[in-house]
Amino acid sequence: MLFNPEIEQLPRPRLRALQNERLQEQVAYLAARVPFYQRQLAELGINPATFRGLDDLAKLGFTKKTDFRDNYPFGLFAVPQAEVARLHCSSGTTGKATVVGYTAGDLGIFAEVVARSLAAAGCRPGMKLQNAYGYGLFTGGLGIHYGAERLGLTVIPVSGGSTDRQLQLLQDFQPEILCATPSYAQVLAEEIARRGIGLEALSLRYAALGAEPWSEAVRAQVQAGLGVAATNIYGLSEIIGPGVSQEAVEERGTGSYVWEDHFLPEIVDKDTGEPLPEGELGVLVLTTLTKKAMPVLRYWTGDITDLHHDPHGSRTHVKMGPIRGRADDMLIIRGVNFFPTQVEDIISSLAHLSPSYQVVATRRGSLDEVEVRVEVAEPLLRELGLGALTPAAVAAHDYLQALQGTFARKIKDNIGLSMTVSLLGPGQLPRSEGGKLSRVQDLRGR
Ligand code: ADP
Ligand code: K
């Protein structure tokens, strides 16, 4: 089913013309309203009045995550605060960093693209959707919620976690659709098997999964374990939230439709920033074409994928492949984005920890786990009369116990993720060749 057939099947030339017109409008709008873009356009010698739209797209500069940080909280907003109907933050950034805003009209666009996405995922008006995405500042919960309502679904806003409750509701309310991160869908599938709940006790038919990368192997496991057809939903707060692109249920494995009337995608070389031809892997760059509160030009997502047209597709919009990785060191832990430098900031706020640290991501079952290993500063250990630190030595010293606890708590409070903390003595972390520590070890292998 297509939620908006006219737009979803708009012939390519008309779609291009629409994008062209909207891009010109968006550039003029930002040039008149947002100092950051005024400066950027001026520096690049771009005159909004003569900007030719798509032909000039590659002349525009990129917008990066650091630009959001530098303009925190509202510096990139294009409307007075009174016109902002809702605020969200990028996941994993509970405090500073990425704040995004929406006008009432923007929320309408958000609901529309999610409604399109859920329809492509297999949902039909009248079905029930259990929404296990987190509600709150994270765009996932409310984003799915309002899109599902727009499509005419009955929403069960259970939010993330509480597996017992999730399983109870799946049996009692008999929803046909589940929205969750793929790793949480795996957890639910495993628990269903472990508790011997037969699939005949459930009515699930479809799952729309996203917020983190996943593989065909995970798809196979979730589809078998939950009795669903599972599709990919992709998005990011800086652009709107989930619903930037979505896989169609009949076309699983061939890529996700980018809703191009609202979001203009490009693939660029991760080192040079040069646009790459169709089918090549590079960094996904997205421009919003219709948002009003906080439009962005050429947002550097950091996500590595490709774009390709599917001549046999049910929609005319371009497809993006699965996310193959990141152009930076961002990790996605249980759907939450996190940069190792966030750990570094916490370390520098605490006395007695040295800036030598390592972040190790592993998988236990289907859930991500993170251990932060950090070296304790030399003077403290000398004072305590200790050399190398073992877990037993840490456990035997109240002060080290407290330090470990404070560090773990700050991580949880500031990043929103629970991590295991290990304290080590100076020089205990393995150095690589040139004596350099590799800060991140991702041992999850999907
Ligand atoms: P979201 O609510 O979609 O997780 P965030 O802004 O918190 O939004 O995170 C966006 C990032 O999450 C993306 O840049 C990408 O790295 C990752 N992400 C979101 N959806 C997917 C997906 N379906 N597959 C792979 N990665 C995804
Ligand atoms: K995410």
DSSP 140-158: HHHHHHHHHHHHTPEEE--
Of all residues in the chain, the percent with pLDDT exceeding 90 is 84
Nearest of 100, 57, 108 to residue 79 by alpha carbon: 100
288 and 366 co-located in one domain = no
Q: 232 in ligand 1 pocket by Cβ < 6 Å?
A: yes
Nearest-atom number in ligand 1 for the CA of 330 is 16
298 and 183 co-located in one domain = yes
- As a whole number of angstroms, the distance between CA 298 and CA 46 comes to 15
- Computed on alpha carbons and rounded to an integer, the radius of gyration of the chain in Å comes to 23
Q: How many CA atoms lie within 13 A of 375 on its CB side?
A: 18
Q: Which two tokens stand for residue 45?
A: 């010698």
305, 328, 351: which is the final residue of a domain? Answer: 328
Q: Which residue has the tokens 């709150």?
A: 136
Nearest-atom number in ligand 1 for the CA of 235 is 3
Q: 290 in ligand 1 pocket by Cβ < 6 Å?
A: no
CATH assignment at residue 391: 3.30.300.30
Element (H, E) at 238: none
68 and 165 co-located in one domain = yes
Say how many Å lie between the CA of residue 385 and the centre of ligand 2: 44
Q: 98 in ligand 1 pocket by Cβ < 6 Å?
A: no
pLDDT digits (tens, 9 = 90+) for 156-189: 999 998 999 999 999 999 999 999 999 999 999 9
In this structure, is residue 333 part of a structural domain? no
In this structure, is residue 334 part of a structural domain? no
328, 350, 372: which is the final residue of a domain? Answer: 328
276 and 349 co-located in one domain = no
328, 361, 377: which is the final residue of a domain? Answer: 328
Within 10 A of 270 (CB to CB), how many other CB atoms are there?
Answer: 17
Say how many Å lie between the CA of residue 91 and the centre of ligand 1: 9
Nearest-atom number in ligand 1 for the CA of 242 is 3
Say how many Å lie between the CA of residue 340 and the centre of ligand 2: 15
Domain boundaries, position 46: 5-328
300 and 398 co-located in one domain = no
Name the domain count of the chain.
Answer: 2
Q: Which residue, by CA, sits nearest to atom 10 of ligand 1?
A: 236
The residues pairing with 207 across neighbouring beta strands, listed in sequence order, are 178, 230
152 and 222 co-located in one domain = yes
Tell whether the model's pLDDT for residue 147 goes beyond 90: yes
CATH assignment at residue 155: 3.40.50.12780
315 and 377 co-located in one domain = no
Say how many Å lie between the CA of residue 149 and the centre of ligand 1: 22
- As a whole number of angstroms, the distance between CA 445 and CA 194 comes to 24
| Residue 127 near residue 155, CB atoms below 8 Å | no
Say how many Å lie between the CA of residue 332 and the centre of ligand 1: 8
pLDDT digits (tens, 9 = 90+) for 291-348: 999 999 999 999 999 999 999 999 999 999 999 999 988 899 988 888 888 898 899 8
